Amino acid sequence: MKTETTLAQPHIKAEKAVRPRQSFYQRHESLILGGGSVLIVVAIWQAIWSYTDWISPLFFSGPSAIAKAFWSMVQDGSLFADLAFSGKNFAIGFGAALASGIVLGVIIGWYRRIRLIFDPFLNALYAAPRVAMMPLIIMWFGIGMWSKVFIVFLSAFFPILLNTVAGIRNMDRDLLRAARAFCASDWQVFKTLAIPGSVPFILTGVRQGVGVGLIGVVVGEMLGSSEGIGFRVAYGGQTFQTDTLFVGFVIIAIGGIVLSWAAERLERHFSRWRPER
């Protein structure tokens, strides 16, 4: 018998490999190529806008005109008022959808009978485009903020709920068997397997919910509101203030990019244990 107290270490070192040296370009390739292409497109657009009469200011706009409209909206404070209105509606509606979607999703995912009872309603409501309910929602809540809050809630709720249900149900059978072999109770299975295992699903739901929630707030404001970014876009269109319309459009695009980037970061943070992609 050997007298050693521990066994040989496997022949793989725990240290991280040394990162090979990279040039400035290699380290920032996506930023350089992505940012560069945006700059070039904007420059061409601006050149056409300034030096040709191919673009009618009635139907389209140019970067400098958009910037000017943006600046005047910043100065008179209307841009921040609109942003605050839309942002508040989105935040309240999305927060409510997040909390209720996760809690109900966990319950529906865990209890088979509750799922069978709710399934037909969930599927019907999920398949129907929720913004189509906007006229009804305006009838209920008026054209103030609560109709917008509600449409955001309704839009974001279903992707969060259904992804949570899928996450809870997607329990690994091998893991369940292992847990049971170690005498796990239902509560322990729920706590140690169902919940952590569904986190990536929930975050996918959050990412989808951000997208449809954003559509909800914009469309809601377009259809019935006197404030907000969506209203600004619709109003710009109705009054042929094409520059203002474009400012609203750019703001919405940036808002969408920032929010989905944040959701993606969140998703990545909580899936550190997954194999590298």
Partner 1 sequence: MIKLQIDHLTKHYWLEREDRNVLALSDVSFSVEDGEFMAIVGPSGCGKTSMLNIIAGLLPYEEGDVLIDGKRVNGPGIDRAVVFQHASLLPWRTIGGNVRYGMELQKRFDEATMRDRAEHFIKLVGLSGFERHYPSELSGGMQQRVNLARALAADPVVLLMDEPFAALDAQTREFMQAELLKIWSKAKKTVVFITHQINEAIYLADRVVVMSARPGRVKDVFKVPFERPRNLSLKRDPRFLELEDSVWKLIEEESDRLGMVAAV
Instruction: Tell me the number of residues near partner 1 by CB under 8 A.
Output: 30
Under DSSP, the state recorded for 274 is S
Using rule CB under 8 A, residue 19 touches partner 1: no
Q: What angle do CA 139, 143, 146 make, to 5 degrees?
A: 90
Using rule CB under 8 A, residue 184 touches partner 1: yes
Residue bearing tokens 């103030």: 144
Q: Which of 73, 160, 193, 222 is in the footprint of partner 1 by CB under 8 A?
A: 193
Using rule CB under 8 A, residue 55 touches partner 1: no
Contact mark string toward partner 1, 244..263, x via CB under 8 A: --------------------
Under DSSP, the state recorded for 170 is T
Using rule CB under 8 A, residue 187 touches partner 1: no
Quick one: tokens of 217? 């707030």
Under DSSP, the state recorded for 15 is S
Stretch of residues binding partner 1 (CB under 8 A), selected from 4-12, 37-45, 115-123, 131-139: 4-12
Cβ atoms of residues 205 and 163 within 8 Å: yes
Q: Which of 24, 25, 59, 273 is in the footprint of partner 1 by CB under 8 A?
A: 273
The phi and psi torsions of 58 (rounded to 5 degrees) equal -75, -35
Q: Shortest approach of partner 1 to residue 196 CB, angstroms?
A: 5
Cβ atoms of residues 32 and 11 within 8 Å: no
Using rule CB under 8 A, residue 124 touches partner 1: no
Q: Any residues with CB less than 8 A from the CB of 260 and at least 6 apart, and which?
A: 207, 210, 211
Using rule CB under 8 A, residue 199 touches partner 1: yes
Q: Shortest approach of partner 1 to residue 117 CB, angstroms?
A: 25
Cβ atoms of residues 97 and 152 within 8 Å: yes
Using rule CB under 8 A, residue 117 touches partner 1: no
Q: Which is nearer to partner 1, 121 or 182 (CB)?
A: 182
Using rule CB under 8 A, residue 266 touches partner 1: no
Q: Which is nearer to partner 1, 194 or 229 (CB)?
A: 194
CA distances from 265 to 203, 204, 206, 215, 273 (A): 10, 11, 12, 21, 14
* Footprint of partner 1 (CB under 8 A): 1-2, 6-10, 12, 14, 172, 174-175, 177-184, 188, 192-193, 196-197, 199, 272-275
